[in-house]
Amino acid sequence: MAERTVAWKPRGQNQLIGKKIPRIDGIDKASGAAKYSADINTPGTLFGKVLTCPHAHAKVVRLDLTAAEKMPGVRAVHAFAQVGQEVRYDGWPIAAVAAERPEIAEDALRAIKVKYEVLEHWVDEEDLEGAKQAGRTKDTRRRPKGDVDAAFQSAKAVHEGYYGLHTVTHCCLERHGSHAEWKGEKELNVHLSTQNVSGTAPQYAKALQLDAANVAINCEYIGGGFGSKFSVDQWDIACAIMAKKAGRPVRLLLDRATELKIAGNRPSVFAKIKVAADADGKVVAWDSYQWGTRGVGGGNVSLSVIPYLIDDVPNKRQRSVGIRTDCGSYRAWRAPNHPQGCYLTICALDDLAAKLGEDPLQFFLRNLDRISKEHLRQTFAGELKRAAELIGWKEKWHPRGQGGDGPIKRGLGLSMHTWPGRAHQANCTLRIYPDGTVESLQGSQDLGTGTRTVIAITVAETLGLPLSAVNVRIGSNKYPFARASGGSTTVGGVSGPNRRAALQALWKIFDLVAAKYEVDADSLEARGGKIWSNGKVVCSWKQAASLIGPMPLEFHGEGPKKDGLTSEDVGGVQMADVLVDTETGLIRINRFVAVQDCGLIIDELTARSQVMSGMTLGIAYALSEERIMDRKTGRFINADLENYKLPRIGDIGELVVEMYQPDSEYARGVVGLGEPPVISPGAAISNAVANAIGVRVPVLPLTPQRVLDALKGGVA
């Protein structure tokens, strides 16, 4: 028998892989049948709500829960804070209640008596001098490389600029929270809005002194996570505790304001950057001094992404100051550190190109050999070329400030990014039943990527079955272990094990068919629900499956493995075409192009959606979205969806997505895609605005006020 090896099929032989296939749970999502944790209403469910601290920094001097406890309809009360405890930001949880109805829970929160001693606070993330004086800063620096000062002195062009991005939140539409229900004293069943189905039971077990094996985590659907839902939060533990106290299930979700304040954010960063090019137009020196906040724990954006991508600069120096603010803590926000590093670096380099009087496209093409990920240089060259064609760079690009004679100026800008996206650890169980039914189980989750669809495509492709023949089960920690979905790891993570397990199944079926029908197992092929030998049908899939006897066949798939099914590292290029109204400061996106590689694409439809998702989130943080902290009170003053501005359907312009997929991409196997497209939008859009109006608007989001200020001040 010929050796059987694990690999993807040759590209041309795929029936499903690489096609544009609608997601298999799309109808359930669009028709409201999909049940999220927020939707779980088992009989007797109580409603939980959380009371939070309205101060940036205070000491609790009195906390009286008695009135709330005595209120009719209130079934449990839980204190997060203790008298004497310091609370460190607006939105800090103080107490929770569970009641028969939501309105009673609200009344109960109002009946809780809390008295605070208000303490000094600091919430400003941009005012470095003030933060230093307040004793809120901590420095980190890297060992400089080369001779930075000499390099600046002998450079042909030097640019110095100021750049920054404000804190943004994750703002998941499904708020953080859970539904908890006990089975007796020792078994807990939770519906948790989580990116980490298989990994959260131990956290409950530790907090509640349970056996981890007795904690069931369910999450069939999750309404957004973006990196903020990896852990069990204290309000989830409170939900379980109150459920036990009340002897009833409890559902507790944060309210919207608290969600924005404490359930995760992306750190801010501001930087003074000096950068230089030599006589050949190559980046030769980099010097940056950055500061910002990750919230109450201090810290700043990692120096590992500064300078970003174009990082093989012979002379460089980077310093960083973290500011400890009395604000909610950061959490991993889609492509942690990268959007910030990309914005600071690519904008500074774009300004350097302008200083050289050069088209940035030429400038970046020339500096591709400054990318230390050498294997991506070719990809970037191809993607830059293709994106330029799609946006009409040659026809439309003009030197800075020549964006038209009227008040409305037009400009183009570009940016590039990279991300590892390697497959995470995941296992699956694949069952073939004697009636031909196929089932794949894993403790994974679908954040919107299309996890179920990717699994179904992989298995159906391998077994030569229609998509509908595969039953996919995810969203329970009782299925085989799969890691959390974060960092673009899931599609590679689940597709590898499913391909491996399905191939094992297929080979077993081939052996049974070969024996029964007296054909050579090596000649067999599964396609269209049938088993073929040398172009002739041997039997149907159902007939083949019946050969396994009365019990199902079960296979275990593991990953990742070094068998070529998955790999890592993607590039990606984005180009924006914008209009800027210099009288109102309003920016409109005309066209926004992304050319994105991600290795072998399993489902091009959902892959394209991931790219559009990144671009749309990018437009949000580039143009409108920011956390606004009031210096005087220390409060997050726009913690609602009216004033925390997200783009709507009319605000995103025309998105153009092209998946970059020469055969070399297919050959390297699956690489993750969720993070990369969210990295570039800030720089691409800001560069387009600078190209249109001739000056840099230094800080994101590019609100009308900031645009007008830049125009007035002529900030270069």
Partner 1 sequence: MPAQQHSRQRGPSFSRRDFLKGSGAAVAATAIVTAPQEIDAAQESGPKVTSAEPTEVTLTVNGRNYRLKVEPRVTLLEVLRNDLNLTGAKEVCETTTCGACTVLIDGKATYACARLAIECEGQDIRTIESLRNGDQVDEVIAGFVKHDATQCGFCTPGFVMATKAFLAKHPKATLEDVRKGLGGNICRCGTYKGITECALELARKGGA
Q: Which of residues 473-502 bind ligand FES (CB under 6 A)?
A: none
Here the tokens at position 686 are: 């800001």
Decide if residue 27 touches ligand FES (CB under 6 A): no
Instruction: Give the three-class secondary structure for 108.
Output: helix
Out of ligand FES, partner 1, none, what residue 386 binds, judged by CB under 5 to 8 A for its kind, is: none
Torsion angles phi and psi, residue 463, rounded to 5: -95, 0
Decide if residue 206 touches partner 1 (CB under 8 A): no
Nearest CB to ligand FES, comparing residues 27 and 83:
27
What is the side-by-side order of every strand in the sheet holding 654-659?
A: 408-416, 573-581, 587-596, 654-659
Count interface residues toward partner 1 (CB under 8 A).
Answer: 83
Which residue is closest to ligand FES by CB? 173
Binding mask 655-694 for partner 1 (x = CB under 8 A): x---------------------------------------
Spatial distance between the Cα atoms of 128 and 324, rounded to a whole number of angstroms: 11
Binding mask 241-270 for partner 1 (x = CB under 8 A): --------------xxxx------------
75: alpha, beta or left? (left if phi > 0; alpha if psi -120 to 50): alpha
Spatial distance between the Cα atoms of 293 and 508, rounded to a whole number of angstroms: 56
User: Please, is 77 exposed, middle or buried when counting C-beta atoms within 10 Å of its C-beta (0-12, 13-18, 19+)?
Assistant: buried
Out of partner 1, ligand FES, none, what residue 417 binds, judged by CB under 5 to 8 A for its kind, is: none
Decide if residue 30 touches ligand FES (CB under 6 A): no
Q: Which of residues 58-77 bind partner 1 (CB under 8 A)?
A: 67
Spatial distance between the Cα atoms of 440 and 426, rounded to a whole number of angstroms: 13
Out of partner 1, ligand FES, none, what residue 143 binds, judged by CB under 5 to 8 A for its kind, is: none
Decide if residue 172 touches partner 1 (CB under 8 A): yes
- Give the residue carrying structure tokens 């399993």: 602
- Give the residue carrying structure tokens 């930001």: 89
Torsion 124-127-133-135 (CA) sign: positive
Spatial distance between the Cα atoms of 254 and 256, rounded to a whole number of angstroms: 6
What is the side-by-side order of every strand in the sheet holding 86-87?
A: 86-87, 58-64, 113-118
Query: How far from each other are the two terminal CA atoms of the chain, in whole angstroms?
Result: 70
Decide if residue 594 touches partner 1 (CB under 8 A): no
The interface region with partner 1, picked from 39-47, 122-130, 201-209, 539-547 by CB under 8 A, is 39-47
Decide if residue 224 touches ligand FES (CB under 6 A): yes
Decide if residue 450 touches ligand FES (CB under 6 A): no
Q: Which of residues 320-339 bind ligand FES (CB under 6 A)?
A: none
Residues 266, 284 contacting (CB under 8 angstroms): no
Decide if residue 101 touches partner 1 (CB under 8 A): yes
Residues 353, 361 contacting (CB under 8 angstroms): no
Nearest CB to partner 1, comparing residues 191 and 696:
191
User: Please, is 374 exposed, middle or buried when counting C-beta atoms within 10 Å of its C-beta (0-12, 13-18, 19+)?
Assistant: exposed
Out of partner 1, ligand FES, none, what residue 356 binds, judged by CB under 5 to 8 A for its kind, is: none
Residues 561, 500 contacting (CB under 8 angstroms): yes
Decide if residue 337 touches partner 1 (CB under 8 A): no
Decide if residue 173 touches ligand FES (CB under 6 A): yes
Decide if residue 638 touches partner 1 (CB under 8 A): yes
Q: Which of 103, 211, 389, 554 binds partner 1 (CB under 8 A)?
A: 103
The interface region with partner 1, picked from 126-134, 513-521, 526-534, 640-648 by CB under 8 A, is 640-648
Nearest CB to ligand FES, comparing residues 610 and 680:
610
Residues 220, 34 contacting (CB under 8 angstroms): yes
Q: Which of 448, 450, 496, 676 binds ligand FES (CB under 6 A)?
A: 448
The interface region with partner 1, picked from 114-122, 155-163, 393-401, 457-465 by CB under 8 A, is 114-122
Amino acid, res. 534: N
Nearest CB to partner 1, comparing residues 36 and 308:
36
Nearest alpha carbon to residue 634 among 134, 112, 132: 134
CB of 23 to ligand FES, least distance (A): 11
Decide if residue 26 touches ligand FES (CB under 6 A): no
Spatial distance between the Cα atoms of 341 and 302, rounded to a whole number of angstroms: 8
- Interhelix angle for 681-693 vs 604-623, to 10°? 50
Q: Which of residues 339-398 bind partner 1 (CB under 8 A)?
A: none
Spatial distance between the Cα atoms of 576 and 591, rounded to a whole number of angstroms: 6
Decide if residue 647 touches ligand FES (CB under 6 A): no
- Secondary structure letter of residue 566 according to DSSP: B
Out of ligand FES, partner 1, none, what residue 317 binds, judged by CB under 5 to 8 A for its kind, is: none
The interface region with partner 1, picked from 159-167, 442-450, 464-472, 706-714 by CB under 8 A, is 442-450
Instruction: Give the three-class secondary structure for 120.
Output: coil
Q: Which of residues 691-710 bind partner 1 (CB under 8 A)?
A: none
Count interface residues toward ligand FES (CB under 6 A).
Answer: 3
Decide if residue 7 touches ligand FES (CB under 6 A): no
Here the tokens at position 172 are: 């998941």
- Give the residue carrying structure tokens 């109150």: 242
Spatial distance between the Cα atoms of 680 and 464, rounded to a whole number of angstroms: 39
CB of 173 to ligand FES, least distance (A): 4
Q: Which of 15, 19, 26, 278 binds partner 1 (CB under 8 A)?
A: 26
Binding site for ligand FES (CB under 6 A): 173, 224, 448
